[in-house]
């Protein structure tokens, strides 16, 4: 049975992906919580941490939002390398580079409250 990894109040997970969701950068907290080394994450699709309990509709909304050059916020249940899981409150936003106008996405995540997790979990159960 998989167990929940509960983030510390000081944990602040950051990652950057290209326009296809491929990880370009991950900070130390993200690596620690997800259980991967930086080398294991770089070049992987960000869905490497996607938990099967997360409804596809939530990620469809995320991608539609950020591809429209808007900021997405929401609660996400992710899985660790060893199969455990953790919840985050996530803010994802696009960044355009100056010369090439290439878009990348930054995701910043923090620990959600237990109440926020319960509300999000109940909502996601209705979205399948």
**pLDDT tens digits for range 71-110:** 999 999 999 999 999 999 999 999 998 888 899 999 999 9
Return the CATH class of domain 13-125.
alpha beta
CB 105, CB 16: distance < 8 Å: yes
pLDDT on residue 18: 96
pLDDT at 128: 64
Q: How far apart are CA 83 and CA 25, in angstroms?
A: 22
* Average pLDDT score over residue span 48-61: 95
Q: What is the pLDDT of residue 1?
A: 66
Distance CA 116, CA 19 (A): 29
How far, CA to CA in Å, does 66 sit from each of 32, 61, 99, 101?
26, 9, 20, 15
Q: What's the mean pLDDT when you consider all of the chain?
A: 95
pTM of the complete model: 0.93
Asked if 103 and 95 touch (Cβ cutoff 8 Å), the reply is yes
């Amino acid at each position: 049975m998989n167990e929940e990894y509960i983030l510390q109040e000081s944990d602040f997970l950051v990652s950057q992906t290209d326009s296809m969701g491929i990880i370009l950068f991950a900070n130390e907290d993200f690596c620690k919580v997800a259980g991967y080394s930086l080398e294991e994450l770089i070049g992987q699709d960000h869905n490497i941490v996607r938990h099967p309990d997360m409804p596809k509709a939530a990620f469809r909304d995320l991608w539609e939002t950020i591809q429209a050059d808007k900021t997405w916020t929401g609660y996400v249940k992710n899985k660790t390398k060893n199969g455990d899981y953790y919840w985050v409150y996530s803010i994802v936003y696009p960044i355009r580079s100056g010369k090439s106008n290439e878009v990348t996405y930054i995701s910043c995540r923090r620990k959600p409250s237990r109440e926020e997790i319960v509300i999000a979990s109940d909502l996601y159960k209705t979205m399948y």
